[in-house]
Every structure is written in structure tokens, then in C-alpha cells.
Chain A
Amino acid sequence: MNTNNFHKSKIINKKIINSELCFIEFEVENWNSHIPGQYSEICLTAENGYQAIRPYSIASEPNSNIVGFLIEKISNGEVSSFFFEHSMIGDEVLISRPIGLRFILKNEFAPIFISSGSGIAPFLSMSKSLDLEKKKYKLFHWSKTFDGLVNYSNFSKEKNIEYHPFVTRENLTKKGIGYERISSKDFNKIDESIKHEIYICGSDSFVENSSDIVKKIFLKSDIYTERFGS
């Protein structure tokens, strides 16, 4: 297995968000930054030499050798189960150089980010980059539960973000949170005559449904999609 473009990395922070999501940060040797939206491959190596590699969106700010990933626990998932159940601060892995030049922040037109569940991951990186420039953007995030609204309190506070969180499987009475699944009315207040760059990330069914809705409204805008899983 070719791991020539991989960097030695060590876990420096681990946060279990809920039963499905955890956030892990690595200190990565010789890391040369990344473009927001790119992903890396994380390689675990067993003592017998067996290796498992999986791709994950980079969820941290560029220009730092502290690189974070939002990891969703997959049933019988070899790598995600390790990170959830066994990993500890100090554990060492290999992380590839950043990959991908398609689903990256173009930053030419007004950005709109649309995500479900762990699909928020690339937007954690994109938003940090835009926050540094104080550039305005819109962020829509659907989660089954409130605790899955990753970075909720920061997104709620930042003045340059128009933040639209949704929780679909809990009954909450919290101001500013929607409860319905995505529909065209969620975009009613956005001027579709202005060209936007629209990024959609999440499960296959969510991306399929969302892009169907969005492409009918935003005829002048570019739409980029990234799907997790089947």
C-alpha cells in the first residue's frame, strides 16, 4: 500500500459529540496547510502490518498543523469504530496530504453551505476561512438531534453568518431552530437573481433531494456536491 505522501500524526484532542459523531484533532508533521473543502486519508497500522485507510473531510482552519476531522461512527466501520471506542490522546496515525480540487471553497461569489449530519465537516473548515476575512455567508445544517448541531454556539454568535440550524427528531422549543426537513421555502429570503456558489454535503439521499430543490431556484449559481456513503 502506497503511503508515500502521508505524514506522521498524533492525536492531541478527542471529543465525543454524541453516539454518532466525534471530533479528533491531530498534530501533523510537515503539514503545509490545505484548501478549505479538501479531504485527507487517515491510515491506521496494526502491529502485523495491516493497514486501513479512509478519507475524511478536513474540518479545521487552514494554515495550521493542528488538523481536525469530524468522524461519523459507521456500523461495523473499521476505522470509525477505532476512533470512537479505542483511540486516545497520543495515538499515532498517518495522514495523507490534502486531496481534492473540486469541492473546495472558491470564494468568488456569495457562499451558501447546505449540510446534513456529518456533512457539516468541510464547512467547518470553509467557515473558519471566511470568518478570518469577516466575509458573509449562509449556513444551513440539518441534524437529527440538537447535540449534532456541531459548533452551534459559535455559529449562532458570529455576525457574518446567517445561520439556519434544523433539528428533525427532537421536540425542542428553542428560538432560531427549525424542525422541518429541507424544502424550497427555506431559501425564500435569498435573492436568487444574484449568483452564489452553493455547496451541499451530506448523505446521498440528502444531497440528492437538496440539489433537486436548489437547482430549480438558483438558476444562475454554481452548485457543488459531496456525498457521504450510499
Chain B
Amino acid sequence: MVTRGFFGKKENNDRVPPGQYIENRFPVLSAEPTPKIELENWNLTIFKNDEELAKIDWKFLENLEKSEITKDIHCVTRWSKFDMKWAGVSVKKLFQEIDLAPPTDWTMTGSSTGYTTNVPTKDLFLEDTIISYSYEDEPISPEHGGPIRLIVPHLYFWKSAKWFDKIIFMDSDKGGFWENYGYHMYGDPWKEQRYSG
């Protein structure tokens, strides 16, 4: 069905996944009020089901080898922003440093607000999946998930938990917050995996 009078501007760019448009701003889309978290009070806790396996704080994280990634980010609400620069520690590196092997194939990642989103262990351990503390060389602002945000750049951005503070290894894959509201369990932008069903 052609819309009369619409000519559009072709996003002639193979970096744009299907159904996305290029956005130069950095939209904020949260379903809840923004928490204010001080870095000195931040912890990341790692669980297997209910069992706590490890807990690290900011002092430990900031002294780990820094990873810098520059990636295109794709939001399920259709915007894509190119070349976003994040710095932090890769999840894989963190686990090496604390000498912990991932015990299952499935994780639920979470925020201090109670937000959750599932990420398969293999995706969490990709080189470009990082626990980020800076965006464009500045601390991540609270509304964008700071001080610490998980960045999973190859999936839709709802998979990158803001105010990141937990990893729970699960025995099987389960949906988190948005997945339980009808979003796709995996969320690959190149396959347009926005919603379930």
C-alpha cells in the first residue's frame, strides 16, 4: 500500500537493520523513575539460582583491564544510533579475574530497580559485551542507566540493563521484564525479533 505524497529518504545504509531509522539524538525510554546510585555503593552480585557465587564492588571493577567498544545501537522502538562509544570491563574478563566459570547456559541480568532481561550465557560472554561505566568518555548519566550499565550491543537495546547490578545463572531460559510483556526472548535486530508472536 503506497502512501500518496510520501517519498521518504532512503536510509541507503547497510548498517541499518530492517525497520530502523538513523537517530542522531540519544532517546531515553524507561518504564520507571530513574534511581540515583552512588558508585561507592554499587555492587554486582552473581548468583546461580538463589545461591550467591560472587560479589564485586566499584573499587574492584575500576581496576580491571578496560575495554572500549564503538558500536551501532538499535532500539526496539525503531531508532538506531551509530558509533556509540562505551568503556568498561568485558563480562568475560571479569569472570576470568574472579576465576569463575559460567555454571549454566542461561542468565537473567538485572537492575537495582528490579528490571530484568534474559541474555544467553554465550551472548553475555562475547568480547563486546561489557559492564560499562562510561559513554563518550563521560560517566553514564542516570537516565541512560548510569553509573553502570550492561551493554549487549548486538541485541536490541532493552537487553542492555540499566543500573546493572546482578547476573543470575538459570537452569533454563526465562523471560525478564519486557519479555513477559510480549517482547522477543532473544532480540536480534537483524532478524527483527521485536515481539513474541
Seen from chain A, the residues whose Cβ lies within 8 Å of a Cβ on chain B are 1-2, 8, 41, 44-48, 50-55, 78, 82, 86-88, 90-94, 99-103, 204, 208, 211-212, 214-215, 223-227, 229-230
Query: Given the interface contacts A1-B18, A78-B21, does A102 sit within 8 Å of B2 by beta carbon?
Result: no
Interface residues of B, count at CB 8 A: 31
Assess whether B8 is in contact with A52, with CB atoms less than 8 Å apart: yes
Assess whether A46 is in contact with B34, with CB atoms less than 8 Å apart: no
Which of B6, B9, B195 makes the CB contact (< 8 A) with A45?
B6
A-B contact count (CB 8 A): 101
* CA gap between A99 and B76 in the complex, in Å: 12
Contact with A along B19-45 (1 / 0, CB 8 A): 101000111111111100000000000
Closest to B32 in A: A225
Query: Given the interface contacts A53-B78, A55-B78, does A204 sit within 8 Å of B5 by beta carbon?
Result: no
Seen from chain B, the residues whose Cβ lies within 8 Å of a Cβ on chain A are 1-10, 18-19, 21, 25-34, 77-78, 143, 178, 181-182, 192, 195
Query: Given the interface contacts A54-B78, A102-B181, A212-B33, does A93 sit within 8 Å of B3 by beta carbon?
Result: yes
* CA gap between A79 and B54 in the complex, in Å: 48
Which of A46, A223, A224 makes the CB contact (< 8 A) with B8?
A46
- A41 partner residues in chain B, CB cutoff 8 A: 78
Assess whether B192 is in contact with A44, with CB atoms less than 8 Å apart: no
Assess whether A225 is in contact with B195, with CB atoms less than 8 Å apart: no
- B143 partner residues in chain A, CB cutoff 8 A: 204, 208
7 of the cross-chain contacts (CB-CB < 8 Å) are A55-B78, A82-B6, A86-B5, A92-B2, A92-B3, A102-B181, A227-B27
Assess whether B3 is in contact with A45, with CB atoms less than 8 Å apart: yes
Assess whether A45 is in contact with B5, with CB atoms less than 8 Å apart: no
Shortest beta-carbon distance, B158 to chain A, in Å?
A: 11
Which of B1, B4, B10, B31 makes the CB contact (< 8 A) with A225?
B31
Closest to B4 in A: A91
* CA gap between A88 and B3 in the complex, in Å: 10
Assess whether A227 is in contact with B3, with CB atoms less than 8 Å apart: no
Which of A78, A215, A229 makes the CB contact (< 8 A) with B9?
A78
- A215 partner residues in chain B, CB cutoff 8 A: 33
Q: A44-B8, A87-B5 are in contact. List 8 more A-B contacts (CB 8 A).
A: A1-B19, A45-B6, A47-B2, A50-B8, A94-B1, A102-B181, A229-B25, A230-B27
